[in-house]
Chains A and B, each alone.
Chain A
Amino acid sequence: MGDDAAVELAGYTAGWHDAGAKYKFKAEPGLSERLVRQMSEMKNEPQWMLDFRLRSFAHFQQRAMPHWGGNIALDFDSIYYYLKPDAGNSRAWEDVPTDIKNTFDRLGIPEAERTVLAGVGAQYDSESVYHNLQKAWVDKGVIFLDMDSGLREHEDIVRAHFGKVIPPEDNKFAALNSAVWSGGSFVYVPKGVQLDIPLQAYFRINADRAGQFERTLIIVEDGAFVHYIEGCTAPTYSSEALHSAVVEIIIKPGARVRYSTVQNWSANVYNLVTKRSVVMAGAKMEWLDGNIGSKLTMKYPGCVLTGEGAHGEVLSVAYAQTGQHQDTGSKMIHVAPGTTSRIISKSISKGEGRASYRGLVRVHSGARGARSNVECDALLLSETSRTDTYPYIEVDEDSAMVSHEARVSRVSEQQIFYLQQRGIPEDQAMALIVSGFIEPITKELPLEYAVELNRLIQMEMEGSVG
């Protein structure tokens, strides 16, 4: 299903009745049941998926906005939920803001990637690379497709798992995504398969490059391993104001998944994401979450530790400067005995930026011997920067051990002076201190990402110390 087919359908006219009929499609803003039906029809989806979407839409309508977190000043009626006129394809390179283009230069992003990141031009032109990787996966029985294709080609597997980790009723934005999702990844890794090359989100070719309402489903069978990487450090320009993704991951016994995200959306974007993993006996989930961009991000990668000895981990870095609010953290739910979790959250606030840690650790009765450790560290770079911590700890099991440490620090004048006295100029000194602050997390990222992340932070520091 590509853009071309969808545009052609716009030429058809008919009344509306049941599946099989064509609709008069006019791209217009706002969300309605009619739009949801049109979408599902255009994608040629099975009835159960349409029902799922409609149920989700109904819930979205009646569900209240969250009364916590950031300030979401969105006019839902003016957003395009599917196929916007002049979306993506017709945007020209000339329209991309100069500072974004300059950043691409300085980060050394190759030509082909720039157009994708800027939301212009055709698909990512790395045909041969993509196809070689594809063959390696196929040989091992791994499935890595965009979600729309995944639904079409592997309906049974999808149906068994879709919406089971994050039901539409979970929160208002999960409901929204469940109603209008498009694009995202479908990943299936068979028993015992260890994928040593990470799966990168931008290798899957999809129509909806802006990734507005991506839906990702990852299923990893017993004893398998996969590292999935989403996003990139280059600033990703989007004219779409709302990005609301859902990521569901199911990890069968003894398997391991690492999911790395570095998000750097342009400063106009509301990034409201629900990510959760079900972790079975002896299995392990690692979320690496980097939030650099967006106007407001609300994201709490979580794990439901359902099997004995399951382990969940979140390593998160958030950076907020003036005009930004990062409200991030994690949710760890301990259901089974012997489960463990670890959250390390590092946040950096500069100018009038606001970075908050919001986390939940819940231990159910019966989760004997569960252990959880949370460390949230905040670094304030200027007088007006702000950081808040909202830890929620709910323990119903006497034998559990739960700890929470929080630290707030400022970059001191003497630290900067010390580095300057070694010849390092002020803004480089600041960048060095910040990179040292996030080092426990960057050392877990693949080398190229760690290097990019540090360079990105260095650039953020330039010319604006204090």
Chain B
Amino acid sequence: MLKISGLQARVEQTPILKGVNFVVRPGEVHGIMGPNGCGKSTLARVIAGDPTYEVTAGTVEYNGANLLALSPDERAKAGLFLAFQYPMEIPGVSIGNFLRSALNTRREEPVPPLEFYGFLQEKLKELQLDEMWANRYVNEGFSGGEKKRNEILQMMVLNPSLCILDETDSGLDVDALRVVSEGVNSMRNAERSIIIVTHYERLLEYIQPDYCHVMLDGRIVKSADGVDLAREIDARGYESVRDEVAAGAL
């Protein structure tokens, strides 16, 4: 589904991604870990088309098409979803109105309001959000945890094929983490792929990825099946991986 080759990107003059190679097949769940500044969030945002970053080399193929040639909204309509690390506030625009507009961009005919609100209420229940949630303005005055849950709500409503979660676990308490993980797990199926960018191992214990990767200095340096790599990092830190790289073992 997603094939990244030799991707390099920078913000202003500072290079961040220095040659990322990465493949995701349909139905797979991948975890990407790394220390601050390694470029993992940048990778997520570059795939989504954040204008802050400039791609300087490499390719990104999505279902065979050149993803880098598409605008962010075209990428979204193609099935891409990014759960933002720092979701933006949109004052005066209700979540219900916002989601319905977003959903309608993917449809021939606009979804009938009643049908939409019924559907939205179901999703709110699954995420243990109260029914007035849809009337709140997008992220306005939300706590960090509320913003993250709002991202997952949007993901569940918009039904994407490739979900990228950018540090979704930061700012979540234990209970919220469980609820969010259940939401994400409920979306796993044979066609949909999920990339989880995270700092800490805990989210990956709840979601149990098929593969884990470690990023250092703008590159993916180590990959392994399942969640073992995450446990290893948790036990021994990123330094251990850095040593392996330096020693030429990777």
- A-side residues, CB < 8 A to B, are 412-415, 417-426, 428-429, 432-433, 435-440
Judge whether B76 and A432 touch: CB under 8 Å. Answer: no
| Contacts of B39-79 to chain A: CB distance below 8 A | 48-52, 71-73, 75-77
Judge whether B88 and A414 touch: CB under 8 Å. Answer: yes
Judge whether A424 and B91 touch: CB under 8 Å. Answer: no
Judge whether A420 and B49 touch: CB under 8 Å. Answer: yes
Judge whether B49 and A437 touch: CB under 8 Å. Answer: no
B43 to chain A, nearest CB (A): 15
Judge whether B52 and A413 touch: CB under 8 Å. Answer: yes
Please name all residues of chain B whose beta carbon is closer than 8 Å to the beta carbon of A414 when the two chains form the complex: 50, 52, 88
Judge whether B51 and A418 touch: CB under 8 Å. Answer: no
Does B200 belong to the interface (CB within 8 Å)?
no
Q: Which residue of A lies closest to B158 (CB)?
A: A422
In whole angstroms, how far apart are the Cα atoms of A429 and B92 in the complex? 13
Does B137 belong to the interface (CB within 8 Å)?
yes
In whole angstroms, how far apart are the Cα atoms of A440 and B76 in the complex? 30
Q: Which residue of B lies closest to A425 (CB)?
A: B73
Please name all residues of chain B whose beta carbon is closer than 8 Å to the beta carbon of A437 when the two chains form the complex: 91-92
Judge whether A424 and B73 touch: CB under 8 Å. Answer: yes
Interface segment, one of B99-107, B111-119, B172-180, B221-229: B99-107
Q: Which residue of A lies closest to B86 (CB)?
A: A414
Does B98 belong to the interface (CB within 8 Å)?
yes
Judge whether B93 and A421 touch: CB under 8 Å. Answer: no
In whole angstroms, how far apart are the Cα atoms of A425 and B102 in the complex? 10
Q: Contacts A417-B49, A422-B76, A424-B105 known; A436 to B93 CB distance under 8 Å?
A: yes
Does B197 belong to the interface (CB within 8 Å)?
no
Does B29 belong to the interface (CB within 8 Å)?
no
In whole angstroms, how far apart are the Cα atoms of A429 and B52 in the complex? 18
In whole angstroms, how far apart are the Cα atoms of A417 and B89 in the complex? 12
Give the contacting residue for B76; candidates A420, A428, A435, A438; CB below 8 A. Answer: A420
| Contacts of B137-153 to chain A: CB distance below 8 A | 137
Give the contacting residue for A421; candidates B76, B91, B98, B101; CB below 8 A. Answer: B76
Judge whether B84 and A418 touch: CB under 8 Å. Answer: yes
Q: Contacts A423-B105, A424-B105, A425-B105 known; A418 to B87 CB distance under 8 Å?
A: yes
Please name all residues of chain A whose beta carbon is closer than 8 Å to the beta carbon of B50 when the two chains form the complex: 414, 417
The 6 A-B residue pairs with the shortest CB-CB distance in the complex, in nearest-first order: A436-B92, A439-B92, A436-B93, A420-B72, A422-B102, A423-B76
Give the contacting residue for B90; candidates A413, A420, A425, A433; CB below 8 A. Answer: A433
Judge whether A412 and B158 touch: CB under 8 Å. Answer: no
A286 to chain B, nearest CB (A): 20
Q: Would you call the interface of chain A mostly helix, strand, loop, or mixed? A: helix
Judge whether A436 and B106 touch: CB under 8 Å. Answer: no
Judge whether B154 and A439 touch: CB under 8 Å. Answer: no
In whole angstroms, how far apart are the Cα atoms of A423 and B80 in the complex? 9
Judge whether A412 and B88 touch: CB under 8 Å. Answer: yes
15 A-B interface contacts by CB (under 8 A): A415-B89, A418-B90, A419-B102, A420-B71, A420-B76, A421-B75, A421-B80, A422-B102, A423-B76, A424-B73, A424-B101, A425-B71, A428-B101, A435-B92, A439-B93
Judge whether A424 and B49 touch: CB under 8 Å. Answer: no
Judge whether B48 and A421 touch: CB under 8 Å. Answer: yes
Please name all residues of chain B whose beta carbon is closer than 8 Å to the beta carbon of A429 when the two chains form the complex: 73
Q: Which residue of B lies closest to A431 (CB)?
A: B101
Give the contacting residue for A418; candidates B77, B80, B88, B91; CB below 8 A. Answer: B88
Q: Contacts A420-B49, A422-B158, A423-B105 known; A415 to B71 CB distance under 8 Å?
A: no
Give the contacting residue for A438; candidates B87, B89, B92, B98; CB below 8 A. Answer: B92
In whole angstroms, how far apart are the Cα atoms of A415 and B101 in the complex? 15
In whole angstroms, how far apart are the Cα atoms of A420 and B105 in the complex? 11
Q: Contacts A413-B51, A432-B98 known; A423 to B73 CB distance under 8 Å?
A: yes
In whole angstroms, how far apart are the Cα atoms of A432 and B49 in the complex? 20
Judge whether A435 and B158 touch: CB under 8 Å. Answer: no
B212 to chain A, nearest CB (A): 25
Please name all residues of chain B whose beta carbon is closer than 8 Å to the beta carbon of A424 when the two chains form the complex: 73, 101-102, 105
Please name all residues of chain B whose beta carbon is closer than 8 Å to the beta carbon of A433 when the two chains form the complex: 90, 93
In whole angstroms, how far apart are the Cα atoms of A429 and B93 in the complex? 11
Please name all residues of chain B whose beta carbon is closer than 8 Å to the beta carbon of A422 when the two chains form the complex: 73, 76, 98, 102, 154, 158
Further contacts, 16 of them, CB under 8 A, given A415-B88, A432-B90, A432-B93: A413-B52, A415-B89, A421-B72, A421-B82, A422-B98, A422-B158, A423-B77, A423-B158, A425-B71, A428-B105, A435-B93, A436-B90, A436-B93, A439-B91, A439-B93, A440-B92
In whole angstroms, how far apart are the Cα atoms of A123 and B10 in the complex? 64
Please name all residues of chain B whose beta carbon is closer than 8 Å to the beta carbon of A413 when the two chains form the complex: 51-52
Please name all residues of chain A whose beta carbon is closer than 8 Å to the beta carbon of B105 when the two chains form the complex: 423-425, 428
Please name all residues of chain A whose beta carbon is closer than 8 Å to the beta carbon of B87 when the two chains form the complex: 418
Q: Contacts A413-B52, A432-B101 known; A423 to B92 CB distance under 8 Å?
A: no
Give the contacting residue for B106; candidates A417, A423, A432; CB below 8 A. Answer: A423
A451 to chain B, nearest CB (A): 13
Please name all residues of chain B whose beta carbon is closer than 8 Å to the beta carbon of A428 when the two chains form the complex: 101, 105
Q: Which residue of A lies closest to B48 (CB)?
A: A421
B200 to chain A, nearest CB (A): 24
In whole angstroms, how far apart are the Cα atoms of A109 and B36 in the complex? 57
In whole angstroms, how far apart are the Cα atoms of A221 and B75 in the complex? 61
Q: Contacts A414-B88, A436-B90, A439-B92 known; A421 to B51 CB distance under 8 Å?
A: no
B138 to chain A, nearest CB (A): 8
In whole angstroms, how far apart are the Cα atoms of A161 and B50 in the complex? 62
Please name all residues of chain B whose beta carbon is closer than 8 Å to the beta carbon of A426 when the two chains form the complex: 71, 73
A344 to chain B, nearest CB (A): 12
Please name all residues of chain A whose beta carbon is closer than 8 Å to the beta carbon of B77 when the two chains form the complex: 423
Q: Contacts A423-B106, A424-B105 known; A417 to B93 CB distance under 8 Å?
A: no
Please name all residues of chain A whose beta carbon is closer than 8 Å to the beta carbon of B84 when the two chains form the complex: 418, 421
In whole angstroms, how far apart are the Cα atoms of A229 and B80 in the complex? 46
Q: Which residue of A lies closest to B88 (CB)?
A: A418
B250 to chain A, nearest CB (A): 33
Residues 131-169 of chain B: 1 if any A CB is under 8 Å from the residue's CB, otherwise 0? 000000100000000000000001000100000000000
B153 to chain A, nearest CB (A): 12
Please name all residues of chain A whose beta carbon is closer than 8 Å to the beta carbon of B88 when the two chains form the complex: 412, 414-415, 418
Which of B81, B82, B88, B98 has the most A CB atoms < 10 Å from its CB? B88
Judge whether B98 and A417 touch: CB under 8 Å. Answer: no
In whole angstroms, how far apart are the Cα atoms of A60 and B90 in the complex? 48
Give the contacting residue for B137; candidates A420, A423, A436; CB below 8 A. Answer: A436
Give the contacting residue for B72; candidates A415, A417, A435, A438; CB below 8 A. Answer: A417
Please name all residues of chain B whose beta carbon is closer than 8 Å to the beta carbon of A440 when the two chains form the complex: 92
Q: Which residue of B lies closest to A414 (CB)?
A: B88
